[in-house]
Amino acid sequence: MCRACWSRPVWRLPLADGRRVFMEFHAYLGPSLFRDRACRREIETWYEDPGICAAVQWFVDRGRRA
């Protein structure tokens, strides 16, 4: 990860199955997803999880507002 979490807002996204993930979103680089608010446990294969993909799509469709 080349970015620090403190430089961007971190959003908590609820998933349909009850889990929650933390995300920071960069306009050019896209989303980075984490298992914790401290942004230390990155979810590297988030694009393989349909629940996370749906939450990211919801976030983008709302105009990047949670």
Residues 8-49 pLDDT 10s? 789 999 999 999 999 999 888 889 999 999 999 999 999 999
The whole-number pLDDT of residue 66 equals: 61
What b/e string do you get for 28-62 counting C-beta neighbours within 10 Å, with b at 16 or more?
A: eeebbbbeeeebeeebeebeebebbeebbeebeee
Model's pTM, two decimal places?
0.79
